[in-house]
Structure 1
């Protein structure tokens, strides 16, 4: 299992990428949104 710091780093990277003006392809945006949501769930479960 990944360490929390690594997961948080990936989550923050994805947030930055999704906010980027270069990220304009809808399917890529949708894929990254789902990945971002999954990482958020992992972080929430670790804090329970």
Structure 2
């Protein structure tokens, strides 16, 4: 299982990638967006 710090790092990395010009393809953006949301839910559940 990954630590909270590892999950946060990955979440921040995905946010940066979504903002980059290279990730403007709609399907790639959609995939990263769903993955980012899932990581966000994991982080929220850890703090509830």
TM-score with structure 2 length normalisation?
0.95
Structure (1/2) with the larger helix percentage: 2
Q: Which portions of structure 1, spanning 4 or more consecutive aligned residues, are displaced by more than 4 angstroms?
A: none
Q: Any unmatched runs of 5+ in structure 1?
A: none
What is the CA-CA distance between 1:24 and the residue it aligns to? 1.1
Q: Any unmatched runs of 5+ in structure 2?
A: none
Aligned residues: 48
